[in-house]
Amino acid sequence: MKLTLIRPNLGDYRSSDAMPPLAMGILASRAAGSDIAFYDEKAEALPVGDQPDLAAFSVETFTARRAYEVADAYRARGVPVVMGGYHPTFLPDEALEHADAVVLGDAEGAWERLLQDFQDGRLGRRYAGGNRIPLTDYRLDRSIYRDKRYAPLELVQYGRGCRFACDFCSIHSFYGTDLRVRPLEGLTREIERLPKGKLLFFVDDNLFAGREELLALLHAIEPLGRRWSCQISIDVARDEALLDRLAEAGCAFVLIGFESLNPASLRQMGKGWNKVSGPYKGVVRALHTRGIGIYGTFVFGYDADTVDTIARTVDFALESRFEIANFNPLTPTPGSALYDRLLKEGRLLSPRWWLDPDYRYGDAIFEPRGMSAAELAEGVFEARERFYSWRSIGLRVLHGEVPFSPFHLGVTAAANIISRREIYKKQHRHLGY
């Protein structure tokens, strides 16, 4: 069977920050006997007139419009299409308007059943993955990433799920309350086979799933001598000994969702626990003094937020010498409590904004209470412009708080240049064609 795997972009263009999607490597590893072609629109143009036996799409909310357009073209040529990912899991009826079948939840198990049914000529419409299946049979085919223009990172995964249920996030809806981690023996074998010169990035939504699990991981990977980065919750900073272990095990950068400086906003988003014993600056200092760079993320648009909130937050990010930062307008996506609440309150400007031909990347999607929708969109873009101005990049790269090292300087400089480029490339773009 000839199988085409496709990851669409927001539109028909290439991205400078594209990273290899592990989901597609998982699908490829579980499609035994198939002749597989993989196309990543973030890194390459999609083929014209591709004619496989089956086409499979991984769909996110921001790429849904583009995915549907490309899928419709495949189906017009008589090629059956299947879709999976967060967006089809939460909106399967919508996805089935453009696909012959959808996979709900994790692919393992459901994907193999789908392929067998297709080969037997009895393809169903919905296949439910097992989000509680242990990760003892984790498989990944990295050969499909070969010769693609990706950022110089190697992605790995330890576990799935998050112990928190933030208002704006759909991870909890996707995985529920279950947290699963892989057997460490298989993970370390995988890491040992990866190129030595590249920074590793753990794609886990929160590597701090639990203290014992994290300590076991750090103990296993420290002997490998690799530099790595991860997403982690701020409560790790409550544990000085754990911070020491992170540094000793090779942690070079962490992505932390600070989200807001406003306690009222933190409470409304269900992230009141983000507070630690002491101000955020203490957290920043604790990480920087251990040689760990910070990618801080912030979100604006909760009821207590104003235009001044955005400006003060950028001031904090600049004063803290964050290596990287992201400032986002609050984005209600399907599957999140935020989306359901704003829909019920009638505050969404376009309930299916991801399909709205008038929506442009960076637009506000709802009416905030403390500012206008236009002020929210403009304020966030100005925040990004301030943080990623050439002067700001130079100051943070050359005069950061982390002890100097050529590695840290090089990674920080490259990340800032790429982030600046992507901000201007994506802003105001319509989704899809």
Could you tell me the pLDDT band of residue 232, with boundaries at 50, 70 and 90?
very high
Could you tell me the pLDDT band of residue 334, with boundaries at 50, 70 and 90?
very high
Could you tell me the pLDDT band of residue 278, with boundaries at 50, 70 and 90?
low
Q: Are 197 and 171 in contact (CB under 8 A)?
A: no
Task: Identify whether residues 69 and 167 lie together within a single domain.
Answer: no
- Domain-located, residue 133: no
Minimum mean pLDDT range among 32-36, 127-131, 161-165, 371-375? 161-165
- Domain-located, residue 431: no
CATH of the domain at 58: 3.40.50.280
Q: CA 405, 406, 409, 414 torsion: positive or negative?
A: negative
- Domain-located, residue 108: yes
The confidence score (pLDDT) of residue 130 equals 74
Q: Tell me the pLDDT tens digit for each residue of 61-100.
A: 999 999 999 999 999 999 999 999 999 999 999 999 999 9
- Domain-located, residue 64: yes
- Domain-located, residue 26: yes
The confidence score (pLDDT) of residue 276 equals 42
Q: How many domains does the chain have?
A: 2
Task: Identify whether residues 262 and 351 lie together within a single domain.
Answer: yes
Q: Tell me the pLDDT tens digit for each residue of 149-197.
A: 999 999 999 999 887 778 888 777 777 767 889 999 999 999 999 999 8
Task: Identify whether residues 299 and 414 lie together within a single domain.
Answer: yes
Q: Tell me the pLDDT tens digit for each residue of 394-418.
A: 999 999 999 989 999 999 999 999 9
- Domain-located, residue 433: no
The confidence score (pLDDT) of residue 163 equals 77
- Domain-located, residue 147: no
Task: Identify whether residues 79 and 173 lie together within a single domain.
Answer: no
Task: Identify whether residues 104 and 161 lie together within a single domain.
Answer: no
Task: Identify whether residues 420 and 302 lie together within a single domain.
Answer: yes
- Domain-located, residue 134: no
**Mean pLDDT within 308-330:** 96
Tokens 């989000």 -> residue: 131
Phi, then psi, of 422 in degrees rounded to 5: -70, -35
Parent domain of 27: 2-128
**The domain boundary residue, chosen from 113, 128, 143:** 128
Could you tell me the pLDDT band of residue 133, with boundaries at 50, 70 and 90?
confident
CATH of the domain at 156: 3.80.30.20
Task: Identify whether residues 184 and 303 lie together within a single domain.
Answer: yes
Task: Identify whether residues 8 and 118 lie together within a single domain.
Answer: yes
Task: Identify whether residues 163 and 269 lie together within a single domain.
Answer: yes
The confidence score (pLDDT) of residue 330 equals 96
Task: Identify whether residues 183 and 55 lie together within a single domain.
Answer: no
Task: Identify whether residues 385 and 300 lie together within a single domain.
Answer: yes
The confidence score (pLDDT) of residue 277 equals 42
The confidence score (pLDDT) of residue 166 equals 82
Average pLDDT for the chain: 94
Task: Identify whether residues 187 and 238 lie together within a single domain.
Answer: yes
**The domain boundary residue, chosen from 79, 112, 128:** 128
**Mean pLDDT within 215-228:** 97
Name the region of 85 (left: φ>0; alpha: ψ -120 to 50; beta: rest).
Answer: left
Share of the chain above pLDDT 90, in %: 87
CA 19 to chain centre: 10
How much is the pTM? 0.95
Tokens of 97: 């308007």
The yes-or-no verdict on residue 304 having pLDDT over 70 is: yes
